[in-house]
Amino acid sequence: MKQLFFLLALLFTSISYAQFNNNSRQRQSFPSPQQQQSPKPKFEVEKYVGIIIYDVEKAAKKTGVKLSSTTGKTFSTTLKNYNKSIKDIERINSFVLKSTKNMVESFQKKAIETGDFSNQPKVMKAMNENLKPVSESIQQEDKAFDAKMKSVLSKKQYLKWIKYNRKLNKTFYK
């Protein structure tokens, strides 16, 4: 009888010890909600301003232009010239773009941490003032580029071109 009681006590102790160790390992493997970090703020200033760099082959495929034809060659040179001018605008205004991006991301990070979004109108106003000259120069370039594309492409190809650009979130100015 003593042996049976001793065996049951030993069995009960080992089972409870095994369950306790298994349960503590499970708690360690799952991170607690406080350990999870909020996502880092990401502001794409190039998208906001409207900077789009085209891939010539993909754009030709989407619009139905054959690059070996004369239309395709003018299409290709027009796109390359546009990409070059947009990259120049981006390079010239790189400091403004980077500083605006840093300003917005730091505000977003601070607002997420503290929960205080009261400075958002000020940040938005400063961002718009900083980026206004850049967006105006890109708009002028886009107007000239759109007029050139309209003359190069046929009506059907131009409609495909507009459809392709809308997928890239580009706006057309009249």
| Domain assignment of residue 40, yes or no | no
> For the whole prediction, is pTM greater than 0.75?
no
pLDDT at 36: 60
| Domain assignment of residue 96, yes or no | yes
pLDDT at 119: 86
pLDDT at 32: 54
Under-70 pLDDT residues of the chain: 4-12, 14, 16-38, 172-174
Q: What Cα–Cα distance (Å) separates residue 17 from each residue in 6, 14, 20, 23, 151? A: 16, 5, 5, 10, 82
| Domain assignment of residue 39, yes or no | no
Query: Hey, what are 47's tokens?
Result: 């998208």
| Domain assignment of residue 22, yes or no | no
| Domain assignment of residue 81, yes or no | yes
| Domain assignment of residue 34, yes or no | no
pLDDT at 28: 53
Number of domains in the chain: 1
* Structural domain boundaries enclosing 144: 45-167
pLDDT at 6: 65
